[in-house]
């Protein structure tokens, strides 16, 4: 783990939304160096807002969201929660995230009372363990000096989440690789929280990373080789099992297709002991800037 000061405490702070009225909340931003609000932040804050209106005996099991506009890191985000349905086993919420009264993100989230049933899941890929790997900040720091670039966000030592790629990745010389990636990740610091529902929020925050990067792998480009516009368009998650964040988790991602300036990605998140915790899908823009 990094010995540098981590932004994790600041992330936990911005995930603690302020209630301003019934089913209405507001939150601040954690600027991780991206030109707009990081998609994982507005996604996770929306789930915090929705969860605040749900009975504690219901657990988040799925969400489907759309990124409508770019978020401004300099402005707070307001969240409006609509109660779509409260049922015996399931309840549904819809959340609109706004800045200056304009919607920047919408999401529908479904919650279920826990119940016993059939159990199976796909196996975890056989990959190197995280202790054998270098983190993105470690990899990037060696390259950034050469190219005189200051590491930001997940490439920086103070990133709230630390990622360790299984396959070495040089963002300045990516080459042509299969549209598949595996990264281990965990919070960059200790989490003294036993609220399993809040742990899903942290996983949601991390889930927006590495998806669209994977869709670029077959094309010998990265954000550091030429001007690109990369932005999430939609994001869906299914939570299969309880989550613990006191150990590394594996994020296994494939990009089955890219076309029309969009990349489509599918991800699976596994616990260290091989349990499938969550599944993710996302489509986003991967567009070259016109010269």
The domain defined by 8-114+129-288 folds into Porin (2.40.160)
The catalytic residues are 208, 232, 282
The per-residue pLDDT for 2 is: 41
**Burial level of 224, CB count in 10 A (0-12/13-18/19+)?**
middle
Torsion of CA 38, 39, 40, 45, to 10 degrees: 100
Segment 163-220, tens digit of pLDDT: 999 998 887 888 899 999 999 999 998 887 777 888 999 999 999 998 999 999 999 9
Sheet holding 59-67, edge to edge: 18-21, 24-27, 77-86, 90-99, 102-112, 59-67, 228-239, 276-288, 262-270, 249-259, 180-187, 161-165
The per-residue pLDDT for 226 is: 83
Say how far apart CA 165 and CA 128 lie, in whole Å. 10
The per-residue pLDDT for 4 is: 62
Say how far apart CA 166 and CA 182 lie, in whole Å. 6
Q: What percent of the chain has pLDDT over 90?
A: 73
The per-residue pLDDT for 1 is: 42
CA-wise closest residue to 160 among 190, 139, 183, 131: 190
State the pTM of this model: 0.93
Say how far apart CA 161 and CA 189 lie, in whole Å. 8
Distances (CA, A) of 11 to 66, 102, 240: 22, 24, 24
The per-residue pLDDT for 147 is: 61
């Amino acid at each position: 783990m990094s010995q540098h000061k981590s932004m994790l405490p600041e992330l936990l702070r911005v995930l603690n939304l302020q209630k301003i009225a019934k089913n209405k909340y507001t939150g601040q931003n954690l600027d991780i160096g991206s030109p707009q609000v990081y998609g994982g932040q507005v996604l996770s804050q929306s789930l915090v807002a929705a969860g605040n209106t749900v009975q504690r005996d219901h657990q988040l099991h799925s969400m489907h969201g759309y990124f409508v506009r770019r978020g401004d890191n300099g402005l707070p985000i307001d969240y409006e929660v609509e109660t779509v349905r409260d049922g015996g086993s399931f309840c549904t919420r819809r959340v609109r995230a706004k800045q200056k009264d304009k919607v920047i993100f919408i999401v529908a989230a479904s919650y279920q009372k826990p119940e016993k049933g059939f159990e199976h899941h796909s196996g975890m890929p056989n990959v190197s363990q995280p202790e054998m790997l270098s983190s993105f900040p470690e990899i990037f720091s060696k390259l950034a000096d050469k190219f005189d670039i200051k590491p930001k966000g997940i490439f920086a030592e103070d990133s709230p989440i630390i990622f360790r790629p299984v396959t070495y990745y040089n963002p300045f010389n990516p080459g042509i690789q299969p549209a598949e990636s595996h990264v281990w990740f965990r919070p960059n610091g200790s989490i003294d929280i036993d609220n399993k529902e809040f742990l899903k929020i942290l996983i949601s925050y991390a889930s927006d990373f590495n998806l669209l990067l994977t869709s670029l792998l077959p094309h010998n480009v990265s954000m550091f080789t030429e001007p690109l516009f990369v932005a999430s368009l939609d994001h869906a998650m299914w939570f299969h099992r309880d989550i613990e964040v006191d150990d590394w988790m594996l994020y296994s991602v494939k990009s089955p297709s890219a076309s029309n300036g969009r990349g489509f990605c599918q991800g699976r998140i596994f616990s260290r002991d091989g349990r499938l915790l969550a599944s993710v899908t996302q489509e986003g823009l991967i567009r070259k800037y016109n010269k």
